[in-house]
Amino acid sequence: MTLFVYHHPAALAHDPGQGHPEAPIRLHYILKGLDAATDVDLSRHEPGRATLDHLLRAHSAAHINNVLDQVPARGSVPLDMDTWLNPHTGEAALRAAGAAVDAVDAVLGGRTRRAFLAMRPPGHHAEPDVAMGFCFFNNVAIGALHALDAHGLSRVAVTDFDVHHGNGTQAIFESDPRLFYASIHEAPLYPGTGRESEAGVGNVFNTCVQAGTDGARWRAALEARILPALDAFQPELVMISAGFDAHLADPLANLRLTEDDFAWITERLVEIAERHAEGRVISVLEGGYDPPALTRSVLAHLRAMEDRA
């Protein structure tokens, strides 16, 4: 089946400002790479906006209002030193969250088994009441909760291989046994969360790796804890917080992965989805701040995720 790719022009219009690493050029590079990737069977889709009901599954009303009410008519304004809004941020954030909802509907509705969100801003740092770390609404969590509440699933898993811990996703998931969250991330590093002792209600699995970790050690760490735990959870839907900032070329971290490592973990997640989730996988773009390396990594990820059934 064709791999669905979700994109909306608002994702390019959101601009945190000159010199900010989470810049539109990230997505420009990815889209150009997708245009040139004639070997991958893609179907492109424009997402709708997330509704208030969708957002309220993961965030408080006060948080939602705080984000949307501060979108400026012109210029840019900060929510914190890292997280800036411009006039297009509200639309971009609603479309990014909406893409997660639409992808869940498409995958669980049987129109495809695989989907990728070529959207920004990212989401995994957004907590129920706090926007932070370039993130406003937690896209992957909104999608996972939609799968539970609107489609009646009982087990949804998110695996996060962004180099930074997804503190927001963990905060949203950690008291709900229907949800599984696993993260492999560099530590110490922003945001300073994600200790291996943090277990939620037995549904949170963090693995910390040190600066300088290469692909072989990273793969071994995943095989030691996260992949067996995910397999044991038997998810009915596999979701991915797909951050590519653990790449050795990335300027914001210190791991030494290559595109082959991202392809490898994608293959392992697809295998688990085939065993337990009818092959259903949804990948949500998170970090990755060297545009050429990001694009190569995304393409390797999508080739590994492509549905050849």
SS3 of 30, please? Answer: helix
38, 150 Cβ separation under 8 angstroms: no
3-state class (DSSP) for residue 263: helix
Instruction: Let me know: does 168 contact 126? Beta carbons within 8 Å.
Output: yes
How far is it, in rounded angstroms, from Cα 278 to Cα 283? Answer: 16
Report d(CA 83, CA 79) in Å as an integer: 6
- Residue 146 corresponds to which tokens in the numbers above? 């939609």
Q: Which of 59, 125, 165, 276 is catalytic?
A: 125
CA separation (Å) from 298 to 22, 29, 236? 16, 10, 24
| Catalytic-residue membership of 125 | yes
For residue 247, the tally of other CB atoms under 10 A from its CB is 25
Map tokens 């811990």 to a residue.
165
Cβ atoms 101, 143 nearer than 8 A = yes
Residue 71, burial from CB neighbour count under 10 angstroms (0-12, 13-18, 19+): middle
Q: Closest by alpha carbon to 3, among 273, 280, 239?
A: 280
CB atoms within 10 A of CB 282: 32
Number of Cβ within 10 Å of residue 244's Cβ equals 30
Question: Could you list the active site residues?
Answer: 125
